[in-house]
Amino acid sequence: MPVVVKQIETVVKDRALIARRHEQICEAALLHFARKGYHQTSVREIAEAAHLSVGALYTYIKSKEDILLLVYHRIFSLFREKMSEAMAKSGDPAGQLRAAIEATLKLYDEYHDLILVLYQESHTLRREALQQLFEVDRRYVSMLQAIIERGNREGQFAAQDPNLTAIVILFLCAVWPLKRWNLKKYDLATVTDSVLGLVFNGIGGSHGLRDN
Amino acid sequence: MPVVVKQIETVVKDRALIARRHEQICEAALLHFARKGYHQTSVREIAEAAHLSVGALYTYIKSKEDILLLVYHRIFSLFREKMSEAMAKSGDPAGQLRAAIEATLKLYDEYHDLILVLYQESHTLRREALQQLFEVDRRYVSMLQAIIERGNREGQFAAQDPNLTAIVILFLCAVWPLKRWNLKKYDLATVTDSVLGLVFNGIGGSHGLRDN
DNA sequence: TTATACTGAACGAGCGTTCAGTCGGCGGGG
DNA sequence: CCCCGCCGACTGAACGCTCGTTCAGTATAA
């Protein structure tokens, strides 16, 4: 569902048109960002890929940075949606954690170029935009943290610091998009198994995780 | 020890001077790259920070990208040195793995801004330079991989795919520099403990998680 | 006629890069 | 011993180019 980013002031009035154009711009930008990065793609290129003139583009954004914001907001809304639905499944903490990790990896797989841009270009954002990004990250961490804490209470887990563990596990999922170039010979399922193996058993044991 | 990067052609003749200047440039560049990234720091800024004029700077490099290469080569030689000495210690695979992870995290701590630049600006490099980077990465992975394979043979570890596991573990160490902003309240020792805990025992703690 | 969406040439700033020129120390001829 | 010329190291104004951004103008539909 298209989302109008309210922080971005526009000249055009029609709300539906704004949303449609923002989506066009987002997709066009992502196409280039993933290949060349933010700084090496020009506004002209984005405009062309979005089937707009430079002038028209600038009636939907105030500056180039707005395009990056647009892309980031797309990530956020996407993840909010997908993650919370993945978490709501199994009641067992171990099952929930497994589902969360699987969902995250699947998302990272589907939007790997987006994640790459997220990690590589975050330092480009202004303080205000960065705070927003941190906030979203914190929310995902606390989702995982809640699961881990429950697992600890029920004796399934023994994590010393649930917050730290949540951060580390979430980061671990980013291997797939960030180290893609040297994971070429593996597929999503294999990497998922490896990550789940490490999280649940460490390096010492593999007790047949995928038993379905 | 200063290292002359032979790939970079220079106008100046004196080898020792080149090495000294390259080190100056490296440090100056890193200072700015860490704060603003590669694209947002100008050659003028780097020259000033290195106490050189723009013209003098260009007698030690051929283009701006050379500066990034210089920085990368610094990382490589540093890591080659430190890692191999850390690996050569204990004979026990578990002890070796632990030493390797601890050494990596300590290095990542000391040069966290360098690592950040490495991850954020790698897409700026030309194909040739990228291949070099990959090669170095592969070497570190295979160091870890060898340890894991030995641990498997001796029954201490049970990693299904040692190569994949090595990649994942090495990546895991990058939480510390890459997620620094939301690990502010933790210190190196705590994060090291957490990473070691996850690698050796998983989330289930020392007793380990049995099948569901 | 007017409001709205759009066009693309033009602008100015900043960038990476170059080069004509300066400086200082060293060596050999007077 | 001095002086001159040379050469290696350095200087920074200038150049050309690309970029983000703007705006006078066009098109269309109401």
Task: Give the tens place of pLDDT for each residue, A167-185.
Answer: 999 999 999 999 998 899 9
Instruction: Tell if B12 CB is < 7 Å from nucleic strand D.
Output: yes
Tokens 């020890």 belong to B1
What pTM, to 2 d.p., does this model score?
0.86
Average pLDDT over chain A, rounded to whole? 87
* Residues 11-50 of chain A sitting with CB below 7 angstroms of strand D: 41-44
Yes or no, beta carbons of A194 and B124 under 8 Å apart:
no
When CB atoms are compared, the residue of A120, A169, A199 closest to B123 is A120
* Residues 19-48 of chain B sitting with CB below 7 angstroms of strand D: 21
| Closest chain A residue to B139, measured at CA | A182
Distance CA B40 to C1' C25 in A: 39
Distance from CA of A19 to the nearest CA of B (A): 30
Q: B120 with A37: CB under 8 angstroms? A: no
Handedness of CA B114, B119, B120, B124 (dihedral sign): positive
What size, in residues, is chain B?
212
Could you give the 3-state DSSP secondary structure of residue B199? helix
Q: At A178, which amino acid appears?
A: L
- Residue by residue, pLDDT tens for chain B (212 residues) are 444 444 566 766 678 999 999 999 999 999 999 889 999 999 999 999 999 999 999 999 999 999 999 998 888 888 888 888 877 777 789 999 999 999 999 999 998 888 888 898 888 888 878 888 888 888 889 999 999 999 999 999 999 999 999 999 999 999 999 999 889 999 999 999 999 999 999 887 644 333 33
For residues B212 and A131, give the distance between their C-alpha atoms in angstroms, rounded to a whole number: 39
Yes or no, beta carbons of A156 and B211 under 8 Å apart:
no
